[in-house]
Amino acid sequence: MRRLPVLLLALVATSDAWAGGIGVFGTGDIRTQQTYYYRNGDPLDQYELTQWILGGGAGFEVILGDKDDRLTGIFRGYWIQEAPEKHPADLDPEIPANEVTAAVREEPRNVGVAMAGLSWAYWGDPEGFALTAQAMLGSGFLTKDHTEYFQAEIGPGVSWEFAKDFRLFFDANYQFRYRKGTQHGVSAYLGVRFLFD
C-alpha cells in the first residue's frame, strides 16, 4: 500500500507530453469473400465460391511520438464502403441462375473501422524521406447488418516530410479478416499528417 501514494505522486508530478500528430487519408482495398449457395432440389448440400470484393473510404489518424522517432504509435478510425456481392451464377458460368438459391448482399455495405498499431521508419530520415513498415490490429466494429469482424494488417510504406511539420505517406498492407472464417486481401492508405512536439 505504501507504493500507491508514490505512484500517484509520480503521475501528478510528470510534465505534459505534447508529441504526436493528426492526419487524414483515403483508403481502398480488395479482399476475398466466401459466397454460399444451395442447388434447388438438393437442399442438404451447401456449396461455396470465393469472390473478390472492392472497398474504398476515408478517415483520420492520431500519431503518438516525436517527429524524429523511428517508432511511432498510430490509431486509425475510418469509414469504408464495400461493393455488393455477386450471385454465384455471375461468378461461375456453369451454375444456372434458376437452379440455385443464394443469399447475397446486393447493396453496397458501409463499415466503421478502428485500428491501432506501430509504424517503424527502418530506412532514411523520419523528418525527410523514409521507408516504413507498419503492423495494425483492429476491427470493423460498426455495421448495420451485424457482421462485425476482426482485422489485422502488416506491410511496407513510404513517408516524405514535404514541408515543416507536414508529412505525406503511403502504406500498402496485407489484410487479414476473421468472421466465421478467414478472408485475405490488400489495403492501401494515402494521406497527410500534421506532426508536432
pLDDT (tens digit, 9 = 90+) per residue, 92-133? 888 877 788 888 899 999 999 999 999 999 999 999 999 999
Q: What share of the chain is helix, strand, coil (3-state, %, to 5)?
A: 10, 65, 25
Helix (H, G, I), strand (E, B) or coil at 3: helix
Specify if 152 maps to a domain: yes
Q: What is the pLDDT of residue 2?
A: 60
Give the span between the Cα atoms of 175 and 155, in whole angstroms: 9
- 138-157 pLDDT, tens digit per residue, is 999 999 989 999 999 999 99
Q: 43 falls in which pLDDT band (50, 70, 90)?
A: low
**Domain presence at residue 156:** yes
Asked whether residue 7 is assigned to any structural domain, the reply reads no
Q: What total number of domains does the chain contain?
A: 1
Q: What is the pLDDT of residue 10?
A: 55
- pLDDT in the model for residue 92: 84
Domain that holds residue 48: 21-196
Q: What is the CATH number of the domain that holds 100?
A: 2.40.160
Whether 69 maps to a domain, the answer reads yes
In a domain, 129, yes or no: yes
pLDDT band at 46 (very low <50, low <70, confident <90, very high): confident
pLDDT at 6: 56
User: Is residue 15 situated within a structural domain?
Assistant: no
Beta-carbon count within 10 A of 184 CB: 12
Task: Write down the pTM of the prediction.
Answer: 0.86
Q: Which residues fall within 8 angstroms of residue 193, CB to CB, at 6 or more apart?
A: 21, 22, 23, 61, 63, 159, 166, 167, 168, 169
Helix, strand or coil for residue 18?
A: coil
